[in-house]
């Protein structure tokens, strides 16, 4: 049986119709893209300017509007792979802990004697005490400074390991804390990077974490990576300011001389009047972490360096009961009330926080400075000129390739070649429809994949037609010959395509960047080519044979 049941027939036609429908916006690429951009802009709450409305309506919105994403190599843009130097933080943390430990041990000086840090290994903190027999007391004192690790995996673990060797205290970061620290470092770096790039207002940047310690940044449309590098190098401004008066909802409030009127970050329409001169700046902050207060409520612990600590201690002593504002990039992140004099340079921000909020707030608090150095491992920039050239070249190559194959097929198989060409056209249409639907990115190697698919997709039809020729020569009637041709060629088609599909899947899984783009179109092309070259042509030829009932055919 060559013909399909009515259900199968409708299903095949439905898929083809869907393909044509979904791929259609790509034909009017610039109009559809302009319209999509306008819709996205309006969704972010921009006012409905005539230009935006005009752009939105430049493409009919009742039709499908998803177009394929063009990769950086076609659109132009910058690609950066940066590695975050997470190990830098370990040393910082130990240095920070040394200040705390020193203070605590000083209180016990009568028992432990003189205290001195031994600097021989930057990865551990060694503190020599005079009276080795008081070691248990020293360990107890220092261990009291450690706190439990706030993470899922490291439940029950503490952040520092405290042990002793002769008359030396040995303090190292615990593995659980290292992991937690790495996570924090990465989260913060991603957050900062994201905020930096969003700030610049570029179009659809991609900022992804890659592996344990890397960040992939892709920004379409910028012609030089130097701009991007500068953008990432800039530090956000974080300050601690005194709050003057009550918060207001009137954006026109006159804050008065020497004061600023700043909006709140989280509460919409709330403004704070703060002292223009910050009490402490963000550069005085050494750390901020999500933690829990003594009641078990989520809180944020922060710590200043010595200067910051002194200034902050002084300020808090004088302003108990009053709020102060934590200001980031001109917005008030939070305005907690000072509960007590905060000496020693570390404090705790409590409030009605959830754990997510404290985590975020601690990230924001540290977002002022990149937590660790970013090392650029890979930079790739494609200028918009080359991108446009590549699109043009890809288009021409595809059209010429398609035309050459199509002419060749018609010359070889006549009318059946035309059927194969319909299938081939449908194949390319379906590739674009699927690329648009799944939001995949089309790259130059991706176009190469499509051109290659054009060449290879007719293979299934060639296999079938050659088989039909053999069957015709063996004296079968046309209908029977096609029946045999389709069924006997099928196993070779499946085996051949599965092996290529294996290669495509492995390329996708193990490949990076350009290779992935290629494997997506190649893989999609294999799936769609089996559909169009086997089922679609069979539907067309089967229907034709059934209608005409030819006694003989030439193939």
Q: Which stretch binds another protein (CB under 8 A): 91-99, 171-179, 186-194, 222-230?
A: 222-230
Q: Nearer Cβ to another protein, position 257 or 411?
A: 411
**Residues that contact another protein, how many (by CB under 8 A):** 86
Applying CB under 8 A, among 137, 170, 229, 231 the residue interacting with another protein is 229
| Least distance (Å) between residue 383 CB and another protein | 5
Residues 45-74 that bind another protein (CB under 8 A): 73
Q: Nearer Cβ to another protein, position 112 or 530?
A: 530
Considering the rule CB under 8 A, would residue 378 count as an interface residue with another protein? yes
Instruction: Say if residues 465 and 478 touch (Cβ distance below 8 Å).
Output: no
x/- binding map, residues 280-299, to another protein, per CB under 8 A?
Answer: --------------------
| Least distance (Å) between residue 348 CB and another protein | 38
| Least distance (Å) between residue 144 CB and another protein | 41
Burial-class residue 419 by CB neighbours within 10 Å (0-12, 13-18, 19+): buried
SS (H, E, C) 244-281: CCCCECCCCCCCCCCEEEEEECCCCCCEEEEECCCCEE
Of 44, 73, 3, the closest CA to residue 383 belongs to 73
Considering the rule CB under 8 A, would residue 466 count as an interface residue with another protein? yes
Expressed in angstroms, the distance from the first to the final Cα of the chain is 20
Considering the rule CB under 8 A, would residue 480 count as an interface residue with another protein? no
| Least distance (Å) between residue 405 CB and another protein | 5
Applying CB under 8 A, among 510, 546, 548, 549 the residue interacting with another protein is 510
Q: Tell me how far the alpha carbon of residue 516 is from its chain's centroid.
A: 16
CB atoms within 10 A of CB 475: 8
| Main-chain phi, psi angles of 135, to 5 degrees | -55, -45
Q: Nearer Cβ to another protein, position 155 or 403?
A: 403
Considering the rule CB under 8 A, would residue 455 count as an interface residue with another protein? yes
| Least distance (Å) between residue 349 CB and another protein | 36
* H or E segment to which residue 449 belongs: helix 444-473
Considering the rule CB under 8 A, would residue 534 count as an interface residue with another protein? yes
| Least distance (Å) between residue 332 CB and another protein | 36
Helix axes 135-143, 87-107, angle to 10 degrees: 120
Q: Nearer Cβ to another protein, position 35 or 497?
A: 497
Applying CB under 8 A, among 114, 249, 306, 499 the residue interacting with another protein is 499
Considering the rule CB under 8 A, would residue 122 count as an interface residue with another protein? no
| Least distance (Å) between residue 501 CB and another protein | 8
Distance CA(449)–CA(451), nearest Å, equals 6
Q: Nearer Cβ to another protein, position 60 or 211?
A: 211
Instruction: Say if residues 363 and 303 touch (Cβ distance below 8 Å).
Output: no
Considering the rule CB under 8 A, would residue 380 count as an interface residue with another protein? yes
Output the CA–CA distances (angstroms, integers) from residue 132 to 103, 118, 166, 329, in the order listed.
19, 15, 7, 50
| Least distance (Å) between residue 111 CB and another protein | 48
Considering the rule CB under 8 A, would residue 511 count as an interface residue with another protein? yes
| Least distance (Å) between residue 509 CB and another protein | 8
Question: In this structure, what DSSP letter does residue 151 have?
Answer: S
Q: Nearer Cβ to another protein, position 278 or 523?
A: 523
Distance CA(261)–CA(330), nearest Å, equals 9
Question: What residues does 327 pair with on adjacent strands?
Answer: 239, 332
CB atoms within 10 A of CB 8: 12
Q: CB within 8 A of 51, min separation 6: which ones? A: none
Of 317, 296, 314, the closest CA to residue 306 belongs to 314
Considering the rule CB under 8 A, would residue 212 count as an interface residue with another protein? no
Considering the rule CB under 8 A, would residue 452 count as an interface residue with another protein? yes
Q: Which stretch binds another protein (CB under 8 A): 108-116, 145-153, 248-256, 449-457?
A: 449-457
Q: Nearer Cβ to another protein, position 193 or 444?
A: 444
- At 236, is the secondary structure helix, strand, or coil? coil
SS (H, E, C) 358-372: HHHHHHHHHCCCCCC
Instruction: Say if residues 258 and 273 touch (Cβ distance below 8 Å).
Output: no
Residues 142-181 that bind another protein (CB under 8 A): none
Q: Nearer Cβ to another protein, position 171 or 225?
A: 225
x/- binding map, residues 385-414, to another protein, per CB under 8 A?
Answer: xx--xx--xx-xxx-xxx-xx--xx-xxxx
| Least distance (Å) between residue 379 CB and another protein | 5
Of 115, 114, 113, the closest CA to residue 98 belongs to 115
Q: Tell me how far the alpha carbon of residue 41 is from its chain's centroid.
A: 20
Considering the rule CB under 8 A, would residue 432 count as an interface residue with another protein? no
Considering the rule CB under 8 A, would residue 233 count as an interface residue with another protein? no
Distance CA(18)–CA(527), nearest Å, equals 16
Q: Nearer Cβ to another protein, position 270 or 386?
A: 386
| Least distance (Å) between residue 29 CB and another protein | 19
Considering the rule CB under 8 A, would residue 440 count as an interface residue with another protein? no
Applying CB under 8 A, among 33, 83, 159, 287 the residue interacting with another protein is 83
């Amino acid at each position: 049986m060559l013909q399909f049941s009515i259900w199968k027939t409708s299903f095949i036609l439905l898929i083809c119709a869907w393909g044509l429908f979904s791929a259609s916006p790509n034909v009017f690429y610039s109009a559809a893209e302009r319209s999509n951009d306008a819709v996205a802009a309006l969704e972010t709450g921009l006012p409905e300017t005539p230009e935006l409305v005009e752009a939105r309506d430049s493409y009919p919105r009742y039709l499908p509007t998803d177009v394929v994403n063009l990769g950086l190599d076609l659109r132009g843009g910058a690609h950066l792979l940066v590695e975050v130097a997470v190990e830098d933080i370990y040393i910082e943390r130990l240095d920070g802990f040394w200040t705390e430990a020193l203070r605590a041990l000083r209180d016990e000086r009568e028992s432990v004697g003189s205290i001195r840090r031994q600097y021989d290994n930057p990865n551990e903190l060694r503190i020599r005490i005079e009276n080795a027999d008081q070691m248990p007391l020293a360990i107890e004192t220092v261990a009291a400074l450690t706190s439990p690790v706030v993470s899922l995996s490291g439940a029950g673990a503490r952040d520092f390991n405290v042990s002793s060797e002769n008359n030396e205290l040995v303090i190292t970061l615990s593995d659980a804390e290292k992991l937690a620290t790495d996570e924090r470092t990465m989260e913060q770096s991603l957050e900062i990077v994201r905020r930096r790039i969003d700030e610049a207002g570029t179009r659809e940047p991609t900022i992804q974490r890659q592996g344990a310690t890397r960040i992939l940044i892709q920004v379409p449309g910028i012609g030089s990576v130097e701009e991007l590098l500068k953008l990432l190098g800039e530090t956000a401004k974080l300050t601690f300011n005194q709050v003057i008066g009550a918060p207001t909802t009137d954006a026109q409030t006159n804050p008065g001389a020497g004061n600023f009127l700043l909006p709140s970050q989280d509460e919409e329409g709330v403004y704070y009047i703060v002292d223009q001169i910050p009490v402490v700046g963000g550069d005085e902050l050494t750390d901020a972490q999500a933690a829990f207060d003594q009641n078990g409520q989520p809180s944020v612990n922060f710590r200043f360096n010595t200067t910051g600590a002194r200034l902050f201690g002084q300020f808090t002593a004088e302003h108990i009961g009053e709020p102060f504002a934590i200001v980031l990039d001109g917005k008030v992140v939070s305005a907690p009330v000072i509960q007590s004099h905060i000496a020693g340079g570390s404090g705790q921000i409590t409030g009605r926080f959830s754990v997510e909020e404290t985590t975020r707030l601690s990230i924001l608090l540290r977002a002022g400075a990149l937590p660790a150095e970013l090392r650029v491992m890979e930079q790739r920039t494609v200028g918009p000129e080359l991108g446009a050239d590549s699109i043009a070249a890809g288009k021409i190559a595809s059209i010429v390739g398609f035309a050459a194959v199509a002419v060749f097929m018609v010359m070889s198989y006549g009318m059946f070649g035309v059927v194969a060409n319909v299938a081939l056209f449908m194949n390319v249409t379906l590739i674009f429809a699927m690329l648009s639907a799944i939001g995949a990115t089309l790259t130059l190697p991706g176009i190469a994949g499509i051109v290659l698919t054009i060449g290879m997709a007719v293979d299934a039809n060639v296999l079938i037609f050659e088989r039909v020729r053999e069957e015709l020569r063996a004296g079968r009637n046309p209908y029977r010959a096609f029946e045999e041709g389709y069924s006997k060629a099928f196993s070779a088609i499946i085996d051949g395509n599965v092996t290529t599909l294996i290669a495509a899947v492995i390329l996708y899984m193990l490949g990076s960047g350009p290779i992935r783009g290629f494997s997506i179109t190649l893989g999609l092309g294999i799936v769609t080519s089996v559909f169009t070259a086997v089922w679609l042509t069979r539907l067309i030829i089967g229907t034709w044979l059934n209608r005409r009932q030819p006694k003989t055919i030439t193939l």
